[in-house]
Structure 1
Amino acid sequence: MRHSCFFTAISIALLGISGCKMADTGPVAFNPATNVSPTFSTFDLENTDKAPDNLEHTRFWDFYQGLEPTGNNATDEDRETANEIRAHIDKFIRATRTPDGKSYEKVRNPLDLMNQVIAFNEIDNFREGRRYISQRIAAGQAGNYSNRANGALIRFTDQNAVLDDASLNDKLWVYPTLDWRYLPKGPEDSDLDEKVYRTIQYVSRSVATEEAEAQPELISLLAGSRFDANSFVTSGYNIPEFATADYLSRNYGGIELRQEFIRDKIDTLFIKSADKPVLDLSRHGITLSDTSPDCLRVELDYVGSVLRVFHSNEQPAKIKDPASEDPDATIKNPAYCGNQVDNEAAISWAAKGAFWRQ
């Protein structure tokens, strides 16, 4: 795989670093995070006259449209599989499709909403947090904004959902973590100096058993982004270098989207722990002993405009190193879907991609 410490380092603000030890970052000033509890008319996001490009900044925008099969060799089987991938994504981001089914005209999920709220700069404390990080960048000193560290509450309320007496997790979104962290120095022997890491975490509220089925599918999400500190801005959207988003649902397992905006320019979707088959691989002539493989990886290469699907079942990510006498030594398992190389893809097709990502 093309990933090393990049995606581990993205979530440094919340998660421990494994195999990517960060250098001493020097003195850190105060953390300005405080309680934030705004009320919105709705959590729905769509393009409007005042914000005509809202949806372009949602997390799945490029991937959702870019995976569409294209060219003279595109088959009905490919198009059906593309539709199945989108249908599975819809369960997590609550997308309302466009009439042609190849894009969406509305989404409703905590990650896209938080990203828009930060960009619009209308929450005083979030604005102060970005300004503080910018000041630390200018001073060349590490800095951290973290509501978790300060015990500060972030709670969003949907006014229309409250008036409609919607389920608890449809009208109230709580974020245990919003974290910006500036690190002047990255791991040793790396080029990760001068980076800003942002972590966003959402967790649904617990409800009584009889109320569970009325709740939205999404249980939790954890998203991390890495930005170049030298181009970090305090208004609008910061353009990430790398980003991850991990979603967990009540009934459909989880998905994880990894995005690379520099170098390889690739989006990778992992479909995890789905009890029921997500993709009908049999239409492509693939016969599985298990109808729902435990590892499905959908990779969109924007430079090559190619969509690839990889799968494996009951294959661990790592296996014992046969060349080592150390019983604990391991190596990547080449049979695991996350480790398979391009020419081992079970399915591939020429994809629409996105010209701005090439």
Structure 2
Amino acid sequence: MDINAYKGVWVFAEQREGVLQKVSLELLGKGRELAETLGVSVTAVLLGDQVKDLAQELIYFGADEVLLAEDAMLKLYSTEPYTKVFSRLVKERKPEIVLFGATALGRDLAPRVSARVHTGLTADCTSLDIDEETKNLLQTRPAFGGNIMATIICPDFRPQMSTVRPGVMIKLERDESRQGEIITCPTDLEPADMNVEIIEVVKETKEKINIEDASVLVSGGRGLSNKENFVILDGLAKQLKGIVSGSRAVVDAGWIERDRQVGQTGKTVRPGLYVACGISGAIQHLAGMEESDYIVAINKNASAPIFDVADLGIIGDVNKIVPALEEALKQAKLKEA
């Protein structure tokens, strides 16, 4: 393989029902950074049906060009049609880096594309950089249960492919002055490529909590002792206009729903304020919240690792301090009124 024949950074622009997923815009921001280091362009790959209007948005968020493939068979995600179209584009145009969001869709598509084009794939990356000497992509992810951070390279094959969790990277500001090229690509799909027939799409009816989008998170851990005590976080979150989240330990214990879990096996968040209540700060949890703008930690153990990343630490019984904070905020609001 002549790896020098491969140029450019690609981002899979995931869309669902004509709506671009936030992780795709985040990856365009990171792709822009990587491309500038390498001196190459950023390409967004957009697959779907009647999604052309989204192509210009991708340019506004950092793409230099958009490869647009539209077909009725791409309207709803199905593994084989998406894999066939994306793999063919990779083989024809030879990008050196391809990034996918680590969503349910991205985690299904990325490994199949990597197998078709005979290259490697690093999953769930938390950091991406370029090696100054070799120009290889440095793909960093937690390993061995999150106890170490491993940096992985793919020196002998191209493209270098990664999936990246939503919320890890920062999207660029939307810039309507940006110019770019939209290239329409044939899909070459045949009826036989639809090897699975989608009979019906059933949407989840319960209200979905997106803690990744919250500006304030009040997060609880095992230090709250039991599910009944965990409820005290609701009052503090209400005063701060935030959302309650938790560590893996409380999710496993059934104190809170899994879609509110912060950490390596949960979600990566970066709110303006993160209040860690009774969370010791295991590396798996820190990996999901240490990029928060301001971190307040409450823990009775003065040597808890959470204090190493906290901007403000409060040592004491979380079950007494949280209600006291809630009451103090109520009184402050009454005085303002």
- Alignment TM-score, normalising by the size of structure 2: 0.25
Query: More helix per residue: 1 or 2?
Result: 2
Asked which structure has the greater CA Rg, the reply is 2
Instruction: Give the TM-score, by structure 1 length.
Output: 0.24
- Larger RCO (CA within 8 A; separation ≥ 6): 1
